[in-house]
Structures are given as C-alpha cells and as structure tokens.
Amino acid sequence: MVAKVEEHKKDQKQLWQPVFGHSGFHGDPNLMKLVDSLIPSVTTFIETGTAAGTTLAHVARLYPWLSCFSCEADPRVADIARENLKNHNQRKAHIHTGKSLDFLEMVTNQFKLNEQPALFWLDAHSHGYGCPVRGEVEFILSHWKSGYILIDDFKNPHNNKWKFDTYDDGVLGIERLHGMARPVFYPNYDPTFGSRGWCLVPIGSMNKPTCIPMVP
C-alpha cells in the first residue's frame, strides 16, 4: 500500500512559509549527480515553482554560465525567493511572478528560450494552484526540440518508498502524461536524503543518461 505524501489536500490554498535549504533537488545526491551530467548538454535551466529559491540558487551557484529562469505563482513567496537569492549573491537568476503556463509562453515568445536545449525542473504544483504538469509537458514538448524535463513529486511505480503528491483528481504520476508517447525514467534506487519522487523525460532525440540507476 502506497501512503499519501501530504496529510493536507494539495488543491487547497494555504498561507505557507517556504524554507530556504542548503542544497537543491531535495539534497538527493543521485539526482544532483544526474543534473550535473545533463548540464553540459543544455544552455538554460527553467524551473516552475520557485518556492524559497533553494534549487534555483543551487543551479545558479554551481553553473554560473547557465541562464536560469523560474516562476512562482504566489507573489508573496516570489518576493521571499528574490530576497533569498539576493542574500546568496545569485542576482542573475530571473524569477517571474505568475502561473507556470503563462511563464512558459513568456520565455518562449519574449526570450526565445525554446531555440536552445533546456533543463526543466517542474515543481509548480500544489499549494492551491492545482497540478499543471500535463499542460506544462505538452507545451514544452511542442516548443522545444531538445533538452530534458525533470518532474518533482512524481509517483514511482517501481518503488513505493518514494513520496508523491495526491490531488482531488488523482496522484501525480504517469497517468498525467498519458498519450504523450515519450519515454519516462524513474530512479532505480531507494531514497536516502531527498525522499520526494521524480521522473525524467528526454526531449527530442536526447538519450537516457547512464550516470545513475534509472528504469522506464
């Protein structure tokens, strides 16, 4: 039996206080190793769901040559993230206040980011803003020719030790990507530090990385 990750409903808006952490990607060393292997093949990091800005600051600090863009739907939380990045000398990272699909359209139309390979970290779900993952992935696959998509809080069908999000209309899992005809890869190891589930979706002809254990 797979337990729900959160005791509260993810669809319910809450006044929440994001916490700025020491490392991005939930501190999962394998996930950070995967990201490190993907960075040389992309020119841009695009995040949906900035929260406190921990992962954005992590990427901006380790890969200063990379263009970094993020969005946060909650204006109060977006201001917190901007202040956190300022305090950690990461002023080059861009934080947009707004919903993720509007943000993706903006970076496509105004900045033409879709003309270069990108690494996406999709984490704009929950805290009362629903689960826009399907729309995000559909938009990315139809506008970017190459890159990688990482989706946070995703159900791992092979290992129920990984935690995932649950909404009124179901879990955040492979069902959200039904019909997209893209390979999806999951971590093939037990969680140690960051226990949040995730998945990887290559864009275009990008290959599956082999630096960490993953299964389709």
Q: What is the CATH number of the domain that holds 144?
A: 3.40.50.150
Residue 192 has pLDDT above 80, yes or no: yes
Closest to 206 in 3D by CA, of 117, 116, 108, 140: 117
How many Cα atoms sit within 13 Å of 19 on the Cβ side?
A: 4
> What 3-state DSSP class applies to 147?
strand
Helix (H) or strand (E) holding 58: helix 54-62
pLDDT given for residue 103 in this prediction: 98
In order, the DSSP letters of 66-96 are SEEEEEES-HHHHHHHHHHHHHTT-TTSEEE
% of residues, the chain, pLDDT over 70? 90
Q: Is the pTM of this model over 0.95?
A: no
Q: Which residue has the higher pLDDT, 6 or 17?
A: 17
Which segment of 12-26, 53-67, 98-112, 147-161 scores lowest on mean pLDDT? 12-26
**Residue 12, in any domain of the structure:** no
**Residue 206, in any domain of the structure:** yes
pLDDT given for residue 42 in this prediction: 98
**Residue 162, in any domain of the structure:** yes
pLDDT given for residue 3 in this prediction: 32
Buried b (16+ CB within 10 A) or exposed e, 53-77: bbbbbbbbbebeebbbbbbbbbeeb
Helix (H) or strand (E) holding 169: none
33 pLDDT band (50/70/90 cuts)?
Answer: very high
**Residue 18, in any domain of the structure:** no
> Does the CA dihedral 37-42-47-50 come out positive or negative?
positive
**Residue 176, in any domain of the structure:** yes
**Residue 9, in any domain of the structure:** no
What domain range is 66 assigned to? 25-215
How many Cα atoms sit within 13 Å of 34 on the Cβ side?
A: 29
The CA-atom distances, in angstroms, between 90 and each of 36, 38, 77, 137 are: 19, 21, 17, 27
% of residues, the chain, pLDDT over 90? 80
**Residue 40, in any domain of the structure:** yes
- Our count of domains for the chain comes to 1
Mean pLDDT of 7-12: 42
SS3 content of the chain, % helix, strand, coil (to 5): 30, 20, 50
Question: Pairing between strand 94-97 and 118-122?
Answer: unpaired
The CA-atom distances, in angstroms, between 36 and each of 44, 45, 96, 115 are: 13, 12, 25, 22
Give the C-alpha separation, 89 to 143, whole Å: 32
Residue 159 has pLDDT above 70, yes or no: yes
**Residue 136, in any domain of the structure:** yes
19 pLDDT band (50/70/90 cuts)?
Answer: confident
